[in-house]
Amino acid sequence: MAALAPVLDALDKNLDESLDRLFDLVRIKSISTDPAFKDECRKAAEWLVEDLKGIGFEASLRETPGHPMVVAHHDGPAGSPHVLFYGHYDVQPVDPLELWHDDPFTPAIKTGETGSKIITGRGTADDKGQLMTFVEACRAYKQVHGALPCRVSILFEGEEESGSPSLKPFLDANADELKADFAMVCDTGMWDAETPAICVGLRGLVGQEVTIHAANRDLHSGEFGGAAANPIRILARVLADIHDENGRITIPGFYDGVEETPSQILKSWEGLGETAETFLGPIGLSLPAGEKGRSVLEMVWARPTAEFNGISGGYEGKGFKTVIAAQASAKVSFRLVHKQDPKKIEAAFQEFVRARIPADCSAEFHPHGGSPAIQLSYDSPFLIKAKAALTDEWNKDALTLAMGGSIPIVGDFQKFLGMESLMIGFGLSDDRIHSPNEKYELSSFHKGQRSWARVLDALTK
């Protein structure tokens, strides 16, 4: 068995070089949802293929109808487990650009608001910094021992931030190649800057764009105001109807499959000391906006939501225009829990909207992906080993948590490859992912690499 200590030493010694590599990757503007950045997405994939080849992986770029996948394999000692590591090289759009303190694609080391060293730039936390922690751990193993402690496959996709349209067909077509004993997914976070965590529950997601069409052209509000349908008014009515006065969602059948969280679990979450003040205070809020009578952690970890992610219609420029628009649109997403069915939620939402549209207007829908929620088993041996490894590295008990976000890949691995996933990551809640001024803690990047080295070591024991 390959010794762990020299691998950890190598990671400490090579931190600067690993930062150079991360910076190279962050500089590539791989915004997957915007077609203007298609070439940049490919460039990020090519960069990863070359880097993995340099380590000694058999790595290749795989075409899809969208952005390419990166697949890599490396063998391990006979009898060792086979793990599939997943990450994504694409990033969120950067608007509003004027709110960034620095160019989002010019990474830098800075001192953060809490005094710690941070790595700034779009994708540093979500997910380039995270995936590179694993790559660096593999690199150090190879450098020190010329081998990995177990058999490792890697899958990096480029469409995670845009609904992963190519992922399911790719998993389906390459199931034999990608199937491993279990997956490791690095898209999650720590409880806080000192406390590592493994995530066992994830909310699902349904994304829908709805456009209300009214008149066949924009109208003057003096000429037609009062008589002609206003699509913004119709849209506002639809959106306002989705929540009742207690924050509950009114779409018929929406709560089908939602289970009440066991009281002992709720109690353990209460023990974490998170309150409305501690959770919402840092973002300038104080009043939980979800279902009355539930804690903020329950709201984000174990309750479904309807959120309006974008809205537009009519004149949005400077000044004023007395126009009645021909159409108005909203991007709506639902976070799902437990056994809620994405397809049924999508259909129920569309029915709900149509029931509120006047007969001379119409509603048009564009789907933006859907995935059910995930609830993993608490007693997997891999989970127990990984928890111990994280506890060793951080010198603090690793926690078992749920998460409010969606990582559709975890459900897809279950469905297409019959694999469970270990969700381990080193992000923090103030990393501003999806927002201006995204950052990743330097300690997350460094100790994250060391953590993966320990986890790989633990899995072989």
Q: Which residue lies nearer to a second copy by CB, 56 or 411?
A: 411
d(CA 184, CA 18): 21
Q: DSSP class of residue 249?
A: B
Least distance in Å: CB of 341 to a second copy?
Answer: 19
> Rule CB under 8 A: is residue 405 a binding residue for a second copy?
yes
Sole window of 146-154, 160-168, 374-382, 412-420 interacting with a second copy (rule: CB under 8 A): 160-168
C-alpha to C-alpha distance for 149 and 81, rounded to whole angstroms: 9
Cis amide leading into 12 (omega within 30): no
Among 14, 350, 435, 443, binds a second copy (CB under 8 A): 435
CB atoms within 10 A of CB 46: 14
> 288 preceded by cis ω (within 30°)?
no
Q: Please, which residue, 220 or 339, has the CB nearer to a second copy?
A: 220
Indicate whether 184 belongs to the interface with a second copy (CB under 8 A). Answer: no
Q: Which of 2, 193, 228, 265 binds a second copy (CB under 8 A)?
A: 228
Question: Interface with a second copy includes 230 (CB under 8 A)?
Answer: yes
DSSP classification of residue 168: H
Distance CA 263, CA 178 (A): 38
- What token pair was written down for 340? 């809620």
Contacting residue, 93, 112, 253, 257, with a second copy by CB under 8 A: 93
Other CB atoms within a 10 A radius of the CB of residue 75 amount to 15
Q: Does 314 bind a second copy (CB under 8 A)?
A: yes
Asked if residue 209 binds a second copy (CB under 8 A), the reply is yes
Q: 3-state DSSP call for residue 92?
A: coil
Instruction: Rank residues 65 and 79 by Cβ distance to a second copy and give the closer one.
Output: 65
User: Applying CB under 8 A, which part among 20-28, 89-97, 111-119, 343-351 lies near a second copy?
Assistant: 89-97
C-alpha 125/C-alpha 441 separation (Å) is 8
Per-residue tokens: 260: 């009440």
By CB under 8 A, residue 388 contacts a second copy: no
Shortest distance, position 396 Cβ to a second copy, whole Å = 22
Interface with a second copy by CB under 8 A: which range of 63-71, 306-314, 347-355, 382-390? 306-314
Query: Alpha helix (H) ranges present in 146-228?
Result: 167-173, 175-178, 221-224
Cα separation, 324 vs 223, in Å, equals 10
Binding test (CB under 8 A) with a second copy, winner from 61, 265, 266, 280: 280
Looking at residues 100 to 159 of the shown chain, list those that interact with a second copy (rule: CB under 8 A): none
Structure-token pair, residue 9:
């030493």
Question: Is 290 a binder of a second copy (CB under 8 A)?
Answer: yes
Q: Is 288 in the site for a second copy (CB under 8 A)?
A: yes
Of 133, 129, 137, 128, the closest CA to residue 55 belongs to 137
The nearer residue to a second copy, 124 or 329, going by C-beta atoms, is 329
* Contact positions with a second copy (CB under 8 A) in 327-346: 328-331, 333, 335
Q: With binding defined as CB under 8 A, does residue 248 bind a second copy? A: no
Of the candidate spans 62-70, 71-79, 253-261, 277-285, the one that interacts with a second copy by CB under 8 A turns out to be 277-285
- 169 vs 308, which CB is nearer to a second copy? 308
Does the footprint of a second copy cover residue 293 (CB under 8 A)?
A: no
Looking at 147, 229, 258, 272, which residue binds a second copy (CB under 8 A)? 229
Interface with a second copy: number of residues (CB under 8 A): 100
Nearer to a second copy, 35 or 146 (CB): 35
Copy the structure tokens of residue 431: 């990393």
The conformation of residue 61, written as its DSSP 8-state character, comes to E
Burial 76-109 (b: 16+ CB within 10 A, else e): beeebbebbbbbbbbbbbbeeeeebeeebbebee
What are the two backbone dihedrals, phi and then psi, of residue 436, each rounded to the nearest 5 degrees? -60, 150
Q: Which is nearer to a second copy, 107 or 304 (CB)?
A: 304
Q: Does 65 bind a second copy (CB under 8 A)?
A: no
Residue 21: Cβ-neighbour burial (10 angstroms; 0-12, 13-18, 19+): middle
Q: Per CB under 8 A, does 221 bind a second copy?
A: yes
- 265 scored as a contact of a second copy (CB under 8 A): no
